[in-house]
Structure 1
Amino acid sequence: MTSVALGPTDQLDPRLLEHRRELTGYCYRMLGSVFDAEDAVQETMVRAWRGIADFEGRSAVRSWLYRIATNVCLDQLSGRKRRALPMDLSGSPYPPVEASLAGRLPSAAWVEPVLDRQVIPEDGDPAEQAVARESIRLAFVAALQHLPPRQRAVLILREVLRWKAEEVAQLLDSTVASVNSALQRARATLADLEGRPAPRSLDSDDRALLARYLDAFERYDIDAFVQLLHEDATQHMPPFEMWLQGREDIGTWMVTPPASGCRGSKLIQTSANGTPAFAQYRPAEGGGHVPWGLHVLEIEDGRIAHISSFLNLDCELFAALGLPTSL
């Protein structure tokens, strides 16, 4: 990777580069966007690169980088509206008809997905990886957006990254009492929001369910597909405001234009936001397949409870996620 400001990243101090992935995860939780997170980490590296000669080592390099990244994120969040998911904006589901696509918001309005491999160390402690996966769940990241930026930073640093109150106070140029008060307010806000399913590891039944999902979707066997869903399953499709509830409506939508154009798609399994996901490639008019959307799935009690279908309409999402941009 090369930056105009930095040059080839292999010329950077290794002490900076070794923290890049975890910093991306931190910035993603703060900002709710993989695009913004990458920009924030890049800016963090620029500032650190410029200041490394004057770094006196009074704190660990990791703490110093988090201090820079926090300031970058707070600057980005200043004056911005919070990102959300479609179900946060409308209390009622939409009918499964093409007219429901009338409402569309810019990408800056939505919480965006991130692949696990972009933000979770591959060789980390299993317990820490489990916490990391839970803390990038879409529902949790969307809930974080309800918090004021400094409360958000405090909660992530204390409860996700397990920093001590004294360390957070030093990072934020604050006091321990102020940090503890911010944490209590953040916890209270999240407690008032709707709960989310408890995380768990995939078992053999879940893996079989995912195999059936891939098979039914690629064959576009909608009868088989809807049987994999909970009766009250939900689906949303950013950048559109619409969301659906009930497997019958989801099945109806899939055979309704323009969604029916997904017939003949190919899927690649991956992991995003701590849960199973599929990258969908839709048939192209001239042949082959083009990136279309990322399905992020929630599994409960042996069935699919929710599908977040993030559409690649601007042709940037798959590239940002490091997914193949063609098949």
Structure 2
Amino acid sequence: MNHGWTDRSTTAELLVAAQAGDGDAFGRLVGPLRDQLHAHCYLMLGSVHDAEDAVQETLVRAWNSLERFEDRGSIRPWLYRIATNRCLTLIERRGRRELPTDLSPEGAPSVEAMWLEPYPDHRLSWTAELSPEARVVVLESVELAFVASLQHLSALQRAVLLLRDVLGFAAREVADLLDTTVAAVNSALQRARKVLDGLLPAATQRATLDAMGETTRREVARRYAAAWEAGDIEAVVAMLTDDARYSMPPLTAWYEGHDGIRTFLAEAMSGRRWRFLPTRANGQLAFGTYLWDEDRGVHVAAGLDLLVLNGTRVAEVVAFLDAEFPAFGLPAELPG
């Protein structure tokens, strides 16, 4: 139904109409923020599916309590308040998400692990509307190393760090959103930054990655895929850093260094035919990997390999064996 809204409709007009029960006005009001809320919930929870649930519940709660909303300036802080508190509740119930490298190479989780999930880049299209500086901050925040590091923070530290350093809310605003004090916000932020400083790549490595052009990244991707498809173990190993790591959630085993990964590659490539299709996940190089099925005469989806680069070398590969290929624009199978 056409309610007569135009692009010139103001937030205040949409809010008044939505509070009067106009669902279309509410959709227009919150629609531009939906993907932003989804990215925030993903960073809080480490799961695309949990983020979708959190956003859905946020919008339902917002709609049900909209008549009590009084700020005519912006609905954005209120929505982030609802979403963040919903995420805090989910974290309390479900705990943190893991990567196999959070465990020892021979170890296993004491309870069934909940694994970190990859994030499709197409869900970040909204960042194109940000300033260059703000866009860089958001894109760096979804990189796998950062998301994995967030899992080592307490729920409050995670929320404060994201609201302050990624979303740019002031300390007073964050205190209001989380029903706490400015002092508590500043203390949590300081502790969170200290933890991340010990977990994230050095600034020099970050600068090296930033200096790489898209052409260079494509060449790295081409060489890596070609080596796998040719079954050339030594060519893959030559592209790795000395301390490279390879993991395959939900499997708990992981491999480190040239010798360990070479042993794994010998088994993975032996007698098998692979195809790799490039995609993007968490703002990084990724591939849909396909294994030849002789009986069916097609290549079938095997996993989503996300590559973490250090310069032009591969520092880590995380092969998400349970990734949903359509979410990354990938087919479920490839013809022979």
TM-score (norm 2): 0.81
**Alignment length (residue pairs):** 305
Whether 2:251 is the aligned partner of 1:240: answer yes
Tell me how far apart the structure 1 counterparts of residues 24 and 90 of structure 2 sit (CA, whole Å).
Answer: 27
**2:123 aligned partner:** 118
**1:4 aligned partner:** none
- Per the alignment, in what secondary structure is the counterpart of residue 78 of structure 1? helix
For residues 20-35 of structure 1, what are the structure 2 equivalents within 5 Å? 20-35=34-49
User: Which of 260, 272, 281 is 1:263 aligned to?
Assistant: 272
Tell me how far apart the structure 2 counterparts of residues 17 and 59 of structure 1 sit (CA, whole Å).
Answer: 17
User: Which of 74, 92, 107 is 1:78 aligned to?
Assistant: 92
Tell me how far apart the structure 2 counterparts of residues 114 and 188 of structure 1 sit (CA, whole Å).
Answer: 25
**2:298 aligned partner:** 288
Q: Given the superposition, is the C-alpha separation of residues 325 and 50 from structure 1 closer, same or farther in structure 2, using an over 3 Å criterion?
A: farther
Q: Which has the higher contact order (CA 8 A, sep 6+)?
A: 1
Amino acid at match of 2:199: L
**1:18 aligned partner:** 32
Give CA deviations for 1:16-70 in whole Å, capped at 9, x if unaligned. Answer: 1111111111001100111111111111122223233443334511111111101
Answer with 211-220 or 191-200: which moved more: 191-200
Tell me how far apart the structure 1 counterparts of residues 228 and 174 of structure 2 sit (CA, whole Å).
Answer: 47
Contact 2:281–2:328 (8 Å) recurs in 1:
no
- Per the alignment, in what secondary structure is the counterpart of residue 117 of structure 1? helix
Whether 2:109 is the aligned partner of 1:109: answer no
Tell me how far apart the structure 2 counterparts of residues 150 and 51 of structure 1 sit (CA, whole Å).
Answer: 24
Give CA deviations for 1:147-190 in whole Å, capped at 9, x if unaligned. Answer: 11112101101011111111111111222222112211222232
Tell me how far apart the structure 1 counterparts of residues 65 and 155 of structure 2 sit (CA, whole Å).
Answer: 25
Tell me how far apart the structure 2 counterparts of residues 262 and 111 of structure 1 sit (CA, whole Å).
Answer: 31
User: Which of 289, 299, 305 is 2:309 aligned to?
Assistant: 299
Contact 2:279–2:328 (8 Å) recurs in 1:
no
Q: Given the superposition, is the C-alpha separation of residues 219 and 104 from structure 1 closer, same or farther in structure 2, using an over 3 Å criterion?
A: farther
Shift of residue 293, structure 1, vs aligned partner: 0.9
Shift of residue 296, structure 1, vs aligned partner: 0.9
Shift of residue 232, structure 1, vs aligned partner: 2.8
**1:6 aligned partner:** none
**1:318 aligned partner:** 325
Contact 1:262–1:283 (8 Å) recurs in 2:
no
**2:135 aligned partner:** 129
Amino acid at match of 1:325: A
User: Which of 160, 175, 193 is 1:154 aligned to?
Assistant: 160
Tell me how far apart the structure 2 counterparts of residues 70 and 307 of structure 1 sit (CA, whole Å).
Answer: 30
Shift of residue 127, structure 1, vs aligned partner: 2.4
Q: Given the superposition, is the C-alpha separation of residues 261 and 294 from structure 1 closer, same or farther in structure 2, using an over 3 Å criterion?
A: farther
Q: Given the superposition, is the C-alpha separation of residues 269 and 126 from structure 1 closer, same or farther in structure 2, using an over 3 Å criterion?
A: farther
Tell me how far apart the structure 1 counterparts of residues 89 and 271 of structure 2 sit (CA, whole Å).
Answer: 40
Larger radius of gyration: 2
Amino acid at match of 1:32: G
Shift of residue 11, structure 1, vs aligned partner: 8.4
Shift of residue 122, structure 1, vs aligned partner: 4.9
Whether 2:288 is the aligned partner of 1:279: answer yes
Tell me how far apart the structure 2 counterparts of residues 126 and 52 of structure 1 sit (CA, whole Å).
Answer: 33
**1:206 aligned partner:** 217
Tell me which protein shows more helix as a share of its residues: 2
**2:230 aligned partner:** 219
Contact 2:35–2:126 (8 Å) recurs in 1:
yes
The sequence identity of aligned pairs, in percent, is: 45
- Per the alignment, in what secondary structure is the counterpart of residue 306 of structure 2? strand
Contact 1:218–1:263 (8 Å) recurs in 2:
no
Shift of residue 306, structure 1, vs aligned partner: 1.0
For residues 49-198 of structure 1, what are the structure 2 equivalents within 5 Å? 49-58=63-72, 60-90=74-104, 93=105, 109-119=114-124, 121-124=126-129, 125-193=131-199, 195=201, 197-198=205-206
Structure 2 unaligned blocks of 5 or more:
1-22
